[in-house]
């Protein structure tokens, strides 16, 4: 959205005696210094970091369908059969460990009709057909173009296990616990927040001309058309741009999330709910196993198991991710879906902790179950995700229309100087 007024038309205006003198223009600027500052801020942040922002949002649009793309291009991996007595998660993991003892089976997941058994790096997995027990794989989970785009969009090329890794982008930045690649993503997220806020101010046409903010003058020339398109596209996309900016920056900079929750009436997230301490067990006490841990988790939080991590060395508990039978904000996520987390003591099935059972402010619940999940489009199916695709491409449309109006303005200034010289 630019600062040019609705009175501008497609024809290049020529300087005449009717134009306001410099003194009047200076008085206008003094009356609207804040708006002028926001206009300049909006313009230059768009110009300086616009290309990086386009790369981030456009790659995100493609990754909206990463799960569907992976399943469609790995049909053999997802081949499965029906059975009256299907293989369970524990048995699937045991089958993979017996067939491939060198493989580090660190997690299991119900995905697309098969049971995936993955490694500690979350980069490779075997598929077990629940109907027959047949093992397929191993299969890379982050290879090819999608892996490269994921490294760009999620890590700023700082993920060591994905294509496109750049070593210096994985190095620590001046911000504690944030790499240089992650810092770039944080800056882009904050930029989106800034563009959304300044865009609203720049777009605001006033109460009397409110409807003008949603019109597109198609018959008034290139400038009027692109100026109106820039305004309308910008204001329609503001909720999504703001959502992507807040959640994107908050992934690596938690104070952004805390600030958003404070503004919306929430409170800082209780990090203690994500910790769990297993009870001391007598030497030789057997592990309860995946199946008993799953049953204990479902008893505490009914639904269906999507993803389970057995105890790592020194932890002493299972982490179980459960999908709700109704609303599933993370339902479309591949392998690591699930909307509620339950911890289960690896030696005591009665000792469990449901992360989502504790009461919390509505703003916190909205952030975790709607706002954050909306960043990826996981809370809707593929057809509804087309809305995310269209709005995810709005930064590209805003760049094109913004450049068009900017170039027209520069041409207008040149013609005015020539007219004045003549």
pLDDT for 255: 95
In the structure encoding, which two tokens stand for residue 117, read together?
């058994």
E strands, 258-331, are 304-309, 317-323
DSSP letters, 115-149, are: EEEE-TTSSEEEEE-TTT--EEEEEESS-HHHHHH
pLDDT at 128: 97
Higher pLDDT, 75 or 416: 75
Q: How high does pLDDT run on average in the chain?
A: 87
Is the model's pLDDT at 162 over the cut of 80? yes
- CA 366, CA 251: separation in Å to the nearest integer? 16
Instruction: Please tell me the predicted confidence (pLDDT) of residue 387.
Output: 94
What is the rounded average pLDDT of the residues 117-128? 95
Range 105-117 average pLDDT: 95
CA distances for 417 relative to 224, 286, 336, 421, angstroms? 22, 87, 61, 6
Beta bridge partners of 337: none
Segment 8-18, tens digit of pLDDT: 333 333 333 34
**pTM assigned to the model:** 0.82
Residues 6+ apart with CB under 8 A from 353: 273, 276, 342, 343
CB 371 within 8 A of CB 261: no
CB atoms within 10 A of CB 284: 5
The residue with tokens 């916190």 is 364
What pLDDT, on the 0 to 100 scale, is given for residue 45? 66
Q: Which two tokens stand for residue 80?
A: 């499965």
E strands present in 288-419: 304-309, 317-323, 340-345, 352-354
- 255-262's contacts with Cβ under 8 Å and 24+ in sequence apart are 256/186, 256/189, 256/190, 257/367, 260/367, 261/361, 261/363, 261/364, 261/367
Report the alpha-carbon distance of residue 94 to residue 318 in Å, rounded.
16
Residue 27 pLDDT more than 50? no
Question: Which pLDDT score, from 0 to 100, does residue 271 have?
Answer: 82
Lookup: tokens for 388:
């995310």
Q: How far apart are CA 36 and CA 3, in angstroms?
A: 8
Asked if residues 232 and 225 have their Cβ atoms less than 8 Å apart, the reply is no
Q: What is the pLDDT of residue 47?
A: 66
d(CA 357, CA 373) in angstroms, rounded, equals 19
Q: How high is the pLDDT of residue 218?
A: 87
User: Domains of the chain: which residue ranges?
Assistant: 271-359
pLDDT at 8: 37
Residues 6+ apart with CB under 8 A from 37: none
Q: Is the pLDDT of residue 2 over 50?
A: no
Average pLDDT value for residue range 339-347: 95
Q: Is the peptide bond before 148 cis (omega within 30 degrees of 0)?
A: no
390 CB-side CA count, 13 A: 10
Q: How many angstroms separate the CA atoms of 256 and 245, rounded?
A: 10
């Amino acid at each position: 959205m630019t600062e040019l007024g609705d009175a501008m038309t497609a024809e290049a205006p020529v300087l005449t005696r009717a134009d306001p003198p410099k003194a009047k223009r200076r008085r206008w600027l003094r009356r609207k210094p804040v708006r002028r500052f926001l206009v300049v801020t909006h313009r230059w942040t768009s110009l300086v970091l616009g290309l990086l922002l386009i790369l981030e949002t456009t790659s995100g649009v493609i990754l909206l369908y990463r799960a569907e793309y992976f399943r469609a291009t790995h049909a053999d991996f997802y081949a499965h059969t029906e059975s009256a007595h299907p293989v369970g998660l524990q048995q699937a993991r045991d089958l993979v460990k017996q067939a491939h003892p060198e493989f580090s089976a660190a997690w299991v997941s119900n995905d697309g009709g098969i049971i995936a058994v993955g490694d500690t790096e979350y980069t490779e997995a075997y598929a077990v057909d629940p109907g027959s027990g047949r093992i397929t794989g191993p299969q890379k989970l982050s290879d090819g173009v999608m892996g490269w785009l994921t490294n760009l969009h999620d890590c700023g090329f700082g993920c060591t296990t994905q294509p496109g890794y750049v070593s210096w982008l994985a190095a620590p930045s001046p911000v504690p616990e944030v790499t240089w690649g992650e810092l770039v993503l944080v800056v882009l997220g904050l930029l989106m927040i800034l563009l959304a806020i300044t865009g609203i101010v720049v777009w605001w046409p006033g109460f009397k001309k409110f409807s003008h903010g949603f019109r597109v003058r198609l018959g008034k020339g290139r400038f009027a058309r692109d100026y109106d398109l820039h305004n309308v596209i910008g204001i329609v996309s503001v909720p999504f741009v703001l959502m992507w900016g807040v959640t994107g920056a908050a992934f690596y900079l938690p104070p952004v999330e805390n600030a958003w929750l404070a503004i919306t009436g929430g409170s800082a997230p209780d990090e203690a709910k994500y910790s769990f301490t297993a009870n001391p067990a007598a030497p030789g006490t057997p592990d309860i196993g995946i199946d008993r841990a799953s049953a204990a988790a479902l008893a505490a939080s009914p639904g269906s198991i999507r993803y389970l991590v057995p105890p790592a060395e020194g932890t002493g508990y299972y982490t179980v991710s459960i999908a709700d039978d109704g609303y599933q904000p993370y339902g479309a996520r591949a392998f690591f879906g699930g909307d509620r987390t339950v911890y289960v003591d690896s030696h005591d099935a009665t000792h469990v902790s449901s992360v989502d059972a504790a009461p919390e402010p509505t703003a916190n619940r909205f952030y975790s179950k709607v706002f954050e999940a909306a960043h990826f489009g996981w809370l809707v199916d593929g057809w509804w995700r087309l809305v995310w695709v269209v709005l995810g491409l709005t930064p590209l449309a805003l760049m094109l229309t913004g450049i068009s109006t900017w170039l027209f303005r520069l041409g207008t200034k040149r013609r005015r100087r020539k007219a004045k010289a003549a």
